[in-house]
A and B are shown apart, each in its own frame.
Chain A
């Protein structure tokens, strides 16, 4: 036993090892990525771990491992579960023999996501148990329980932490690591694993029959509990429950929901002992819906009558406002404060020396009035450069481009997609675009890594999650085999070269693919690549601002002249852009 100061995801990863996990798969996505990032670098691992190409692939792999009787973990972010929804829904029918825990991390407030969907709704939809921790210690302690529950009921269990669990820190009491010794063994059972109609109808009935026992067990295991302290009550879940506890006044009863499905009878007994109840939870009204069903004439305060928001994340101050409005808090706990207005914002931006900036610059130069569908990754930040017109979900750049092309829009269409995203769900869109004769230019921004989520390797990198060498896929050969005849690779630091190839693509009909290939500047720095910095020659600089508009954080503008700061990584793109040749390598005259 040890007490450590850990990130939520580090504590979750440790708990998986304490549970004797045997098989781990997943696809990176904020806020879930660090769980596998921690597990994949442990020395003396006894478990198998992989980064899969997408969440559907990851879950099907983990499901198969759990069918072989071993403990499996599959990690992803909430929107990843959309991709894995197909195997999820039917895995509840087939069940499992070894424990299967699916960690799907939600991101209320969309800190780093395209939406604020609630994983608890998926658990409800699939009729599988869902554990919803309220803090790091609980997240840690729930993991072994999740494996036990999964094995007890023969069902996958969803574990749903949120950003404020995954990326918060705290002192955590850890247990002992357990060495995985199980070997998987598949026992044929077509009635369980071949979901033809005759089998699946039976399996569906069995799944439904498990529900009542699951509800009871979740209360028995103490995930859902309460304390009666007065005539009014607050029912809360997730991190919201922690904020309520920080503020809970004397004489207000408190119920904490940490697991679903909720036992309605047990919940009803609690609610009926009170004169009014307030429900506090992030995102969907999962708890509130159930409370409404059983409340009878007890008034329920929450999202449905406008006391709590459906969107965004909760915070101590947000919870205080809800409690006060609903009459559950006698006085304001926090002073009213106002942030200083009109400060220039500092949003995230592409790094100094990022390959994407050069690629975007060239695209904009050649295709001035084009439509620019894009995708999910660092390069979504190209929005600030005016070269991202659409982003919806992983892989939806090529598909949106071909859809716009077939819709009849007369503009050129140039879409951008990263290498990891292309391998995730981009390939199908490319095959479809070629097959159906779309007129589009596809630029694959190839930095050979999944950068945004923390530099996880992918099949394009040449190493596995554990650092074992693996033959990198050839994006060029892949695109050609999809039927693309114009496939060109170019270094996006070479603006002239990139412009030339884009012009060539512009002249042609059909699907053209340009692979803009250069190392991620962060990976390059870590690998010890040193290019030397650049500086502006103040006597040559005319202050025209061309380099400043390029938007690199290494370029500043002071006293009517450009200046390059210490962030410069030496990509030299600005030196190529400067119309008067004022930007030179440091040390050169």
Chain B
């Protein structure tokens, strides 16, 4: 696929280009900052743009650049790579978009298979979240106050965790050794308990479920 990247660390930028090319992807643009990337992509579309979060324009140029890219190239997938996996940035990323978007640790995309799988899922419209972050968010309910996720059963929480990683129903069923029908029932129950009803699309409701969880912890839910 056609990929562009922006990252201010030259060594990491070179490593990423090597890996992308080894995986058979075409690196259309490779820039040290967000503004340069936007200029480079003005007249040539890519499938996915890979962005460092902490890069120029400072302080979090990756987010600003992503917002502008989403506005000008809504079909381009966005993959954020960072040295940190933090819920604060996940919330901001999901505010930019809840489709064709991903957030992963820099060192966790270090194989051709993982990098290609991540890019393919994003290009297919999925959301991909660093598993350690998804787990941290769902497995440690903070307290009962303002935490709607506490009302979920253990199994529903397992399902929500896998949804937060962007897995499809079939993959969730496989992971939990249950039927697809059972997964659908759990998801319907999660949507119901979190107060997410029919008007949103299925894929948006999945992400809204994760966001509701995050916001409940921020005291906004």
A and B together in one complex: no
